[in-house]
Amino acid sequence: MNRTEKKYLYDISESIRIIFDDYLKGIDSFGQYEADLKTQDAVERRLIMIIAEAVYKMRRKGVSLPSADQIINRRNTMAHQYDEYNPNAIWDSIHRELPSLKAEADRLLKE
């Protein structure tokens, strides 16, 4: 794994850590998340701008990561069809897709 790929993996792992440990600290339900626009904006920035872009770049380099298609598609929908935004889809994505993505990024970083 080259330096650039390790940087992408680090960005993925660190962004997921920040989402769970910092942004979602004390937020235990979708209702709390939906009511907190600042948290939604922060989570979405990390998910859409950093994680999805790094996942996309890793895929272009031939590295398969869990939920890559879903994360990239979600980014494209939010960027190009923002009027179809659904905060519940983001909440579900956070809890369904990000833990396995972080585990794989961390595993690859240790190689």
pLDDT band at 7 (very low <50, low <70, confident <90, very high): very high
In Å, what is the CA distance from 65 to each residue of 4, 33, 84, 100, 102?
Answer: 16, 26, 26, 9, 10
**Tens digits of per-residue pLDDT, 64-95?**
999 999 999 988 888 888 787 788 989 999 99
Q: Does residue 1 carry a pLDDT above 90? A: no
